[in-house]
Chain A
Amino acid sequence: MSFLLTCPNCGTREVTDFGFGGEISARPTARPSLRELGEYNYFRRNVAGVQREWWFHRSGCRAWFIAERDTVTNEVLLTELPRGPGSPESVA
């Protein structure tokens, strides 16, 4: 068994229902240098422990949401919808 995730819209489903969007990282400033862009595009903290990460309900409501998961145990601590403009995970 892998693990279950709770979509904020649909409820608890198997992980195979979802697409993984990777750890949440800070977007670079308005005019990033090539190096900053490389850091944002490619470098990852890849933590062993609790990680805030993006998921996508591929076989459901197709919404993007955030989970906090312990990568050592795969225990999902919480899931929530992104908090909108101005928040760290904002895509606006």
Chain B
Amino acid sequence: MLDIFRHRRMWRRQRDLKPAYDVVIIGGGSHGLAAAYYLQKDHGIRSVAVLEKRYIGSGAAGRNTTILRSNYKTPEGARFYDASVKLYENLGKELNFNLLFSQCGHLTLAHTDRAMFVMANRAEVNRLQGIDSRVIYPEEIKRLAPAMQVENPHATYPIMGALYHPPGGIIRHDAVVWGLARGADRGGVEIHQDTEVQSMERSNGRVTKIHTNRGTISAGHVLNCTAGWSTLICDMVGVPLPITTHILQACVTEPVKPLLDVVIVSSQMHVYISQTDRGEFLMGAEIEPWTTYRMQGTLNFLQEVTRHTLELFPQLERARLLRSWAGLCDLSPDYSPILGQTEVENFHVSAGWGTYGFKAAPIVGKTLAELVATNRTPDLIAPFAVERFYEDKLVSELAAAAVSH
């Protein structure tokens, strides 16, 4: 029988939990799996369990709009996300798994003088970090996105220019989850799905026991990689977080012919648009302003996102929506993440990801793995410690990240 017909598992079947691991990672999303992958790959740490309460990629990792970019506003943010995009560029080859990564280019539209000024500022910050990013004008926008209505005398938001970021693009999110899981599993990491952490015990400033629905375990280090649920996990060990949980929504149209091969974002119109490899137009908007843990979409979102998309792509007027969904986002006050050590010695967090966590997955995994292996905070993540909120030293990405992508 030819090998290609044989059913092969991507990762090993679930066994019983062992009583102890060197590292326990809570959350089987892109961050948790990336941390597990880099722990074994960079540091040879194989006694690792990833605990996922549902199935891997069932949270934000499987609900995002798959956009990658690094044109952030602060030098700290731009440097960090650039390192992430560079890791993503090689990840498919490294994992021997096609992640369908397309660096098709990313356009952030500007509709006012003020927005043009902010774009120019971002382009300068980006270029100082060696990131390909520049301001372009309507002629070039039309060349890059010929199907988009760029000059519309009746537009609510006329297009004055855009921040063009050529290395930005889209990557298949499920493939990232599966590829990292397979890579981690082959390196000896255990992936436990349907395994929910219910409480933790803390003594002498350390997490000593983790109680799950499948038994109690202990760990040398514990990583909280649970995004929208981060507060609930941190509550179990008494670590306060400056985050709130909100829903972010997205939807897709039925497949249409290829029209658009760049990512279009408008912060003023609160919309981002790309066309998937299947031909669907993928549209996302803003988080809902109120906090919630309920992943249910709103009609208001569908009305707003389609109205704005139609202003840019009136030819989609008759396209039907195929599906829509919502995911949870853990929003931090300065729109930058909260990353690294906490007041509990062996408990580390990756939280405060708002709407930009997926694009950071590989660099979060790599830096958290280094933190665990060396007990030292890598320089790249030092600006993102939770301590900054006690000292009022914020890393404000408001202008570059407040719009989701």
Contact = CB atoms under 8 A, between A and B. Distances in A.
Interface of A: 1-2, 14-16, 19-20, 22-23, 34-35, 37-39, 41-48, 51, 53, 71-74
Given A43-B241, A43-B389, A72 B290 contact: no
Nearest to A19: B289
Contacts of B243: 44, 46
Nearest to A45: B231
Contacts of B232: 48
Interface in B175-217: none
Interface stretch (B8-16, B138-146, B291-299): B291-299
A1 B292 contact: no
Nearest to B229: A48
Nearest to A67: B290
Contacts of A16: 300
A1 B298 contact: yes
Given A1-B299, A38-B389, A38-B392, A71 B242 contact: no
Contact of B290 (A20, A37, A39): A20
Interface of A is mostly: mixed
Contacts of B392: 34, 37-38, 41
Contacts of B389: 38, 41-43
Which 9 interchain pairs have the tightest Cβ spacing?
A: A42-B242, A46-B231, A2-B298, A20-B290, A42-B389, A38-B390, A20-B289, A48-B293, A43-B242
B244 interface: yes
Contacts of A1: 298-299
A35 B390 CA distance: 5
A42 B391 CA distance: 11
A83 B296 CA distance: 33
Nearest to A37: B392
Nearest to A35: B390
Contact of A41 (B240, B241, B288, B333): B333
B241 A51 contact: no
Contacts of A46: 231, 241, 243-245, 291
B231 A2 contact: no
Nearest to B332: A42
A69 B292 CA distance: 10
B134 to A, nearest CB: 34
A72 B240 contact: no
Contacts of A20: 289-291
Interface in B212-245: 231-232, 240-245
Contacts of A39: 240, 390
A72 B294 contact: yes
B293 A72 contact: yes
Contacts of B288: 2
Contact of A34 (B244, B293, B300, B390): B390
B12 to A, nearest CB: 32
A64 to B, nearest CB: 15
Nearest to B304: A16
The residue among B288, B290, B292, B298 with the most chain A CB atoms within 10 A of its own CB is B290
A35 B291 CA distance: 25
A74 B299 contact: no
A34 B240 contact: no
Given A38-B390, A38-B391, A48-B232, A71 B291 contact: yes
Given A1-B298, A22-B244, A41-B389, 11 more contacts: A1-B299, A2-B299, A16-B300, A34-B390, A34-B392, A38-B390, A44-B244, A48-B245, A51-B291, A72-B293, A73-B294
A45 B242 CA distance: 8
B390 A71 contact: no
Scoring B288, B292, B300 by chain A CB atoms within 10 A of each residue's CB, the highest score goes to B292
B240 A43 contact: yes
A25 to B, nearest CB: 11
Contacts of A37: 392
B333 A74 contact: no
14 contacts: A1-B298, A14-B300, A20-B291, A23-B291, A35-B391, A39-B390, A42-B333, A43-B240, A44-B231, A46-B245, A46-B291, A51-B291, A53-B290, A74-B292
A15 B244 CA distance: 18
A19 B290 CA distance: 8
